[in-house]
Amino acid sequence: MQNKGKRPFGKVLMVLMIIFFYLPIAYMIIFSFNDGKSLTSFTGFSLRWYQHMLESQDMKEALYTTFSVAILATVISTIAGTIAAIGLSKSKKVIRNLMDQVNNLPMMNPEIVTAIGFMLLFITFKVEKGYMTMLLAHVAFCIPYVMLSVMPKIKQLDPNLADAAMDLGATPWQALRKVIVPQIMPGIISGGLIAFTMSIDDFIISYFVTGGGVKNLSIIVYTMSKRVNPSINAISTCMVLIITFMLLVINLAPVLSAKRRKKEEIKKRRILPGILVTAAAVLLVVFVKFGGSKEERPFEGQTLHIYNWGEYTGENIIADFEKETGATVIQENFDSNEQMYIKVANKEPYDLLVPSDYMIERLIQEDLLQKLDHSKLTCMDKLADAVKGLPYDPDNEYSVPYFWGTVGIVYDKTKVDIKDLEEEGFGIFLDEKYKGDVYLYDSERDSFMMALKALGYSMNTTDEQEIQEAYEWLVQCVETMDTEIVTDEIIDNMAQGRKALGLIYSGDATYVMDENENMRYYMPKTGTNLWSDAMVIPKNAKNPELAHAFINYASDYAGAYDNSSYVGYTSANKEVMDDIYGEGGDYEGIDAYIPRIDNPKDEVFVYNEDMKKIMGDLWSRVKIAASNAD
Amino acid sequence: MKKFSQLALPYIIWAVFMLVLPMGLIGLYSVMEHGNSIISFSFTLEHYVKFFTDPDFLLILWRSLLIAVKTTLICLLLGYPVAYFIAKSKEKVQNALILCITLPMWINMLVRTYAWIGMLSEGGLIQKVLQIFGLGNTDLLYTEGAVLLGMVYNFLPFMILQIQTSLSKMDNSLLEASADLGASPIQTFRRITLPLSLPGVINGITLVFLPAVSSFFIPKLLGGGRYFLIGNMIENQFITVGEWNFGSAISMIMAVIMMLLMMVVRKVEIRNQGGKEE
């Protein structure tokens, strides 16, 4: 009776709730069909992001990893968890309580703590991180959840049930299977569902325990999402479809089979969806794994492990290289040099890295790189002179440049007066006229570079007084300017014209200017950072031969053109650079594309461990000051 | 009967390796002098001292706990009525509604968070809707509100499902009995429904609070790098700074705080149940 009175309120609440839950998903699906790259304005219907997704080996593999890990982890942890729960319920109380505490560890601990525990475990025991470590970790954190949902059902059971069954002549196994398991089935099912949900959605743990190029969808999104890539929306839409289909099968199958056989055995309805789900999973695996064909080529069957920046290769270069050489390329992405350094210093096996200038200097100093075999390199003559023989590797013994450019200010010409920029240079970041309208870039090096250059110092200073001044400059900036500290989100945000100005890499500025005609790029006269990222081969590379082949391929016209036109960063290949900037090129007349090489105040970063530590520490304090400024 | 207890043995061994040992390793790293190898072990407490003597770090910790508490409260307030409504529906409707709630959880959390960026940003859907109501150009993205919204959005289903499970387990005859004995609906709710759903509430709180406290991509994506929380700090130590020892120390501190908080929550639960049985 009372229920009827509550219904309207409940219904409204439910409807609101469903809108809340589904709105972002609907939004995502709609924008997966967007012709443009924007996430806020729909410019027309197109399937290009789906096409892009299908062409991307990375995405297909991520889809495979996500589903196969989730299915395996669910099956293993549901079975193991149920068995363990039944066992524990009959164990001594001391053991039971103790195990409750142990199981609480992954549930009561923040996920990141669990993740770090796993990571340290695998590293300490020298287990190579990859698919298996991810699966192990998923099983480990899923089991306690399964037990959590099975345990209460076991407790509700009449303890005499199993005894009664066995008194009547059932073996313990039969008692378990025919009496206990059916009784606790709802608990097992919901446990399995929780496990599946946890696994398929997991990011934090996977992120810390994976390696060797194995990525699940979350990791792909995390490393990609900084630069808008609507194929994420496309792949997510596919996932929605797959999951909806699976759920429909699970929910409709019992209805259908019930119709067919009325009330027969309940067992059947559990098997059918199981079979269908497994079949779907197998199909998926087959589709992903054996989608390609194979022929005889020079590096047939070999593997190249590349560790590169996220979104730093052209659309086709990897696939073309694979087609030409027969090799398989596994590309892992990092989003900072430091992140890459930690993995390389921990001897994770890569064949090719693309670090920045100062980091290459560090890797050389620490003897982590091997000298290149110049007799195998055919590309050196094709590179621009300005990007060769730089201080970090004067004779290019170790490195072949990949992309290069400057750091500068991207600004909206309708909001920023060019005179302010010319007068103030980087000082514009302290000009309260633009309060609330600026982006800082979340990088200690570039931020300190900006501050030091604004103050007229060298960005490679070792003078603590100067660093302290730069620190105060930055604190003043975040405290008075209401800044937002972003990383690659700046690219989309500026392309959408959301703020007046921001600190940006020239390559990203190129992209922004290409998308939004109001955007301009400015390099202060007081000098800036002239940077370059180059390809190097680590000492412990397993296939340096193939790595050399890739260096040549990426530096040759076709590869370099694909890279540069897609990413927007300046190619080290002279001809490509001229063609892309020149008439009919992809970035015709966009000045950010051409690095400035004639200002003597521009500098290249030098590696200095002490300064890096000091700046790193001070920068996190700047960020804290920024969060306190609100 | 005893035979079944042997079933637990393999899991106990597994748990020691996969659950206990990792925590031990974090503990070990956290009291080790700088260096990422446990072969050259030498004891130090400097990492803990570093954390507790720096007001900035303490502030981050406080802020992380605060935002997690807010998230949990909002989830509870929103989630309970929803769970109650679901649990009171007919079985078929109930299943459909649960499906509705669980489906989004299977779509990647990062992707769903990402979708909010488009919706919240300037010129995005939410702002356009707000403009219709004359609520001008308020900044939505990169605010604390955005982070909070992202967390509630991601973690609310956990709360709903937990509460719903415990509510639907409830024996309806209890409610009838209560009504027959003259209790008002509110009394029935307070005396019967609420205490019986408490285990679900507690589980829900746990499932919301923990990920909220340690989340680092929600503040990163929706807070725009301005909401530097403890999770971001740990990630930073391991992924970019490479100070594993200090990172381990922060992790330990977090783990201990969580344990203490959860113990308090469990105590509340036990006391409540104890009272009811008298």
| Whether residue A247 sits in one domain with residue A183 | yes
| Whether residue A447 sits in one domain with residue A382 | no
| Whether residue A523 sits in one domain with residue A537 | no
pLDDT beyond 50 at A362: yes
At residue A442, the pLDDT reads 86
Q: Does A92 touch chain B (CB under 8 A)?
A: yes
Q: Which of B59, B62, B82, B110 is the best residue to mutate to test the A interface, defined by the most A CB atoms within 10 Å of its own CB? A: B110
Q: Which of B82, B108, B121 sits opposite A201 (nearest CB)?
A: B108
Q: Which of B9, B60, B123 sits opposite A40 (nearest CB)?
A: B123
Pick the most confident of A292-296, A441-445, A459-463.
A459-463
| Whether residue A538 sits in one domain with residue A525 | no
Instruction: Among A258, A289, A320, identify where a domain stops.
Output: A289
Residues of A in contact with B15 (CB under 8 A): 99, 102-103
Mean pLDDT over B247-267 rounds to: 89
* Residue with tokens 């990920």, as numbered in its chain: B211
Instruction: Let me know if residue A422 belongs to a domain.
Output: yes
User: Between chains, do B255 and A221 touch, taking CB under 8 Å as contact?
Assistant: no
State how far residue A81 is from chain B, nearest Cα, in angstroms. Answer: 8
| pLDDT tens per residue across span A281-319 | 666 665 555 544 445 678 888 999 999 998 889 888 998
Q: Report yes or no: B222 and B113 within 8 Å, Cβ to Cβ.
A: yes
Instruction: Let me know if residue A172 belongs to a domain.
Output: yes
Of B227, B247, B225, the residue nearest B236 (C-alpha): B247
Instruction: Let me know if residue A488 belongs to a domain.
Output: yes
Give the integer Cα–Cα distance in Å for B215 and B232: 8
| Whether residue A561 sits in one domain with residue A477 | no
User: Could you tell me what percent of chain B has a pLDDT over 70?
Assistant: 93
Instruction: Let me know if residue A21 belongs to a domain.
Output: no
At residue A263, the pLDDT reads 47
Q: Does A516 touch chain B (CB under 8 A)?
A: no
Instruction: Band the pLDDT of A267: cuts 50, 70, 90.
Output: very low
Q: Report yes or no: A534 and A401 within 8 Å, Cβ to Cβ.
A: yes
| Whether residue A313 sits in one domain with residue A256 | no
Instruction: Let me know if residue A298 belongs to a domain.
Output: no
Pick the most confident of A47-51, A62-66, B148-152.
B148-152
User: Could you tell me what percent of chain A has a pLDDT over 70?
Assistant: 91
At residue B38, the pLDDT reads 63
| pLDDT tens per residue across span B241-252 | 778 899 999 999
**Residue A570 belongs to what domain range?**
303-403+533-581
Residues of B in contact with A111 (CB under 8 A): 210-211, 214
At residue A295, the pLDDT reads 52
| Whether residue A548 sits in one domain with residue A490 | no
Instruction: Let me know if residue A137 belongs to a domain.
Output: yes
At residue A1, the pLDDT reads 40
pLDDT beyond 70 at A324: yes
State how far residue B123 is from chain A, nearest Cα, in angstroms. Answer: 7
Would you mind telling me the total number of residues written for chain A in this entry?
A: 630
Neighbouring CB atoms inside 10 A of B191's CB total 14
Q: Which of B3, B12, B19, B250 is the best residue to mutate to test the A interface, defined by the most A CB atoms within 10 Å of its own CB? A: B19
Residues of B in contact with A39 (CB under 8 A): 117-118, 121, 124
Q: Which of A92, A172, A486 sits opposite B3 (nearest CB)?
A: A172
The residue of chain A with its CA nearest to that of B142 is A484
| Whether residue A211 sits in one domain with residue A69 | yes
| Whether residue A198 sits in one domain with residue A135 | yes
Instruction: Output A563 or B225, whichever has higher pLDDT.
Output: A563
Give the integer Cα–Cα distance in Å for A494 and A501: 8
Which CATH number characterizes residue A601's domain? 3.40.190.10
Residues of A in contact with B74 (CB under 8 A): none
Mean pLDDT over B59-76 rounds to: 94
DSSP secondary-structure letter at A413?
T
Instruction: Output A504 or A156, whichever has higher pLDDT.
Output: A504
Q: Which of B25, B95, B235 sits opposite A120 (nearest CB)?
A: B25
At residue A284, the pLDDT reads 64
pLDDT beyond 90 at A545: yes
User: Could you tell me what percent of chain A has a pLDDT over 90?
Assistant: 47
Q: Does A127 touch chain B (CB under 8 A)?
A: no
- For chain A, how many structural domains are there in total? 3
At residue B276, the pLDDT reads 45
Instruction: Band the pLDDT of A265: cuts 50, 70, 90.
Output: very low
ipTM of predicted assembly, 2 dp: 0.88
Of B31, B108, B114, the residue nearest A207 (C-alpha): B108
Of A206, A113, A142, the residue nearest B27 (C-alpha): A113
Residues of A in contact with B85 (CB under 8 A): 6, 10-11, 13-14
Q: Report yes or no: A384 and A574 within 8 Å, Cβ to Cβ.
A: yes
| Whether residue A202 sits in one domain with residue A277 | yes
Instruction: Among A289, A319, A354, identify where a domain stops.
Output: A289
Q: Which of A31, A79, A120 is the best residue to mutate to test the B interface, defined by the most B CB atoms within 10 Å of its own CB? A: A120
Q: Which residues contact residue A483 at a Cβ distance below 8 angstroms, ignoring those fewer than 6 apart?
A: A429, A438, A439, A440, A477, A626
Instruction: Let me know if residue A41 belongs to a domain.
Output: no
Instruction: Among A265, A289, A313, identify where a domain stops.
Output: A289
| pLDDT tens per residue across span A130-141 | 899 999 999 999
Q: Which of B54, B90, B226 is the best residue to mutate to test the A interface, defined by the most A CB atoms within 10 Å of its own CB? A: B226
Give the integer Cα–Cα distance in Å for A218 and A62: 9
| Whether residue A416 sits in one domain with residue A473 | yes
Q: Which two tokens stand for residue A554?
A: 């990426």
Element (H, E) at A624: helix A609-628
Mean pLDDT over A10-30 rounds to: 90
* Residue with tokens 């099912």, as numbered in its chain: A189
> If you count residue pairs, one on A and one on B, with CB atoms under 8 Å apart, how many are there?
291
pLDDT beyond 50 at B135: yes
| pLDDT tens per residue across span A586-608 | 898 899 999 998 899 999 999 98
Instruction: Let me know if residue A70 belongs to a domain.
Output: yes
Which CATH number characterizes residue A217's domain? 1.10.3720.10
First vs last C-alpha separation in chain B: 31
Please, what are the domains in chain B? Answer: 44-277 (1.10.3720.10)
pLDDT beyond 90 at A544: yes
pLDDT beyond 90 at A161: no
At residue A4, the pLDDT reads 45
| Whether residue A537 sits in one domain with residue A504 | no
Q: Does A630 touch chain B (CB under 8 A)?
A: yes
